[in-house]
Amino acid sequence: MTAIGVGLIGTGYMGKCHALAWTSVKAVFGDGPAVRLAHLSEVTPELAAQRAAEFGFARSGSDWRALIADPAVEVVSITTPNQFHAEMAVAALEAGKHVWCEKPMATSLADAERMAAAARASGRVAVLGYNYIQNPMVRQIGALLAGGRIGRVNHVRVEMDEDFMADASTAFGWKSDKGSGHGALDDFGVHPVSLLHTLLGPIARVFCHQAKPYAARPLAAGGMRAVETHDIAAILFELESGASGVMALNRSAWGRKGRIALQIFGDTGSILFDQERFNELQVFVADGPNETRGFTNILAAPVHAPYDRFIPAAGHSLGFNDLKVIECHELLARIAGSEARVIDFDTGLAIERTIEAMARSSRDERWVGVSP
């Protein structure tokens, strides 16, 4: 099997994550092609050269179009800020490259539609960075639901909270600029929607309220600039299955670091999961004598594939970057034409339509259906 050539655009938080995934996917899983780190792009040639030396890429530069045109590149990782995703992904697909693009897909529904159309026309593989669906414990939740362990799901509650925007003195950055999208809805909301989509199916309709905890933020150069995005959103929703739901998003929630708390209620039991404790989940099943009923805590172990590919011992815990390695492996499986657990651009578009319905609901102050 010949090695696959990788191009990486952007080397910040997610860029490093992708680089680590590309570096370790073969060692962790053993199967699939060897990986060749071919070309890396950043905003300046100096930064690109520095990162290429650190990550082990053969070429570097500040022109992402040159990276896409490079014949040594077969798959492009796009880890730049949201507003660049559409232009870069469409160009890569049109050049015949596979694409692994960070979430959210785009900053407008029109751009997401353009990206999905480009993916379909190219016949190439295009997937999005929805790493949380790759967690072995999230797969276990799927297996429990499919096996009817908690019966018919009638209600779901999901909260996503972090505190990186909680400090009022944090400088105005691209996440407060409306060019990046709506705010918590696309920055955060897409993750819970990807989990719901994967575990319980699409959302049919939504009622959303958005809020800004701080009206303005300080500029690095001095003075203040009005915040254009919403750091908080609260959503009522109904799944296509008929189950009702509540979603709460807050990226200015002091003390919360990486919370995606999911509660799934069925007619014979409940499942609880929190990304801040993502190597465990709790299950309650309403059987047996009342006095011995209670939640069971299940710790991640080699029986929860693909945990076994990383560690042979139970209870030793995977980390965030491991989810990206699993996602990278699923992407390679899809490229090889095998079954794969990925959010491709068509499913990504369905997620974007759900987010757009939430934004419209917030603006119009009414229930909005998620149009296909």
Ligand X SMILES: NC(=O)c1ccc[n+]([C@@H]2O[C@H](COP(=O)([O-])OP(=O)(O)OC[C@H]3O[C@@H](n4cnc5c(N)ncnc54)[C@H](O)[C@@H]3O)[C@@H](O)[C@H]2O)c1
| 10 counts as binding ligand X under rule CB under 6 A | yes
| 358 counts as binding ligand X under rule CB under 6 A | no
Q: Which of residues 152-171 bind ligand X (CB under 6 A)?
A: none
Q: Is 5 exposed, middle or buried (0-12, 13-18, 19+ CB in 10 A)?
A: buried
| 103 counts as binding ligand X under rule CB under 6 A | yes
Please state, in angstroms and rounded to a whole number, the distance separating the CA atoms of residues 303 and 311: 11
Q: Hey, what amino acid is at 140?
A: Q
Closest CA to 200 of 260, 134, 245: 245
Q: Which residue has the tokens 């530069």?
A: 61
Shortest distance, CB of residue 353 to ligand X, whole angstroms? 18
Give the helix/strand (H/E) hosting 150.
none
Shortest distance, CB of residue 64 to ligand X, whole angstroms? 5
Residue number, nearest CB to ligand X: 12
| 82 counts as binding ligand X under rule CB under 6 A | yes
CB 311 within 8 A of CB 322: no
Please state, in angstroms and rounded to a whole number, the distance separating the CA atoms of residues 261 and 283: 14
Q: Which residue has the tokens 């930064």?
A: 47
Query: Site for ligand X (CB under 6 A): which residue of 24, 60, 77, 79?
Result: 79
| 131 counts as binding ligand X under rule CB under 6 A | yes
Shortest distance, CB of residue 148 to ligand X, whole angstroms? 31
Shortest distance, CB of residue 297 to ligand X, whole angstroms? 25
Query: Site for ligand X (CB under 6 A): which residue of 5, 7, 32, 129?
Result: 129
| 64 counts as binding ligand X under rule CB under 6 A | yes
Please state, in angstroms and rounded to a whole number, the distance separating the CA atoms of residues 184 and 252: 9
What strand order describes the sheet that includes 269-274?
A: 296-299, 280-285, 269-274, 259-266, 153-161, 244-250, 232-239, 203-211, 368-369
Shortest distance, CB of residue 214 to ligand X, whole angstroms? 20
Query: Site for ligand X (CB under 6 A): which residue of 23, 28, 33, 81?
Result: 81
Q: Which residue has the tokens 């709790």?
A: 282
Specify the residue, 103 or 304, whose C-beta has the smaller distance to ligand X: 103
CB 212 within 8 A of CB 174: no
Q: Hey, what amino acid is at 105?
A: M
Please state, in angstroms and rounded to a whole number, the distance separating the CA atoms of residues 157 and 270: 11
Q: In the structure encoding, which two tokens stand for residue 182, read together? A: 């709506």
Interface mask (CB under 6 A) for ligand X, residues 38-57, using x and -?
Answer: ---xxx--------------
Specify the residue, 76 or 144, whose C-beta has the smaller distance to ligand X: 76
| 14 counts as binding ligand X under rule CB under 6 A | yes
Query: Site for ligand X (CB under 6 A): which residue of 4, 6, 8, 11?
Result: 11
Specify the residue, 11 or 122, whose C-beta has the smaller distance to ligand X: 11
Segment contacting ligand X (CB under 6 A): 79-87, 229-237, 254-262, 299-307?
Answer: 79-87
| 348 counts as binding ligand X under rule CB under 6 A | no
| 15 counts as binding ligand X under rule CB under 6 A | yes
CB 310 within 8 A of CB 318: yes
Segment contacting ligand X (CB under 6 A): 4-12, 251-259, 302-310, 353-361?
Answer: 4-12
Q: Which residue has the tokens 């905890």?
A: 213
Residue numbers at the binding site for ligand X (CB under 6 A):
9-15, 41-43, 64, 79-82, 84, 102-103, 129, 131
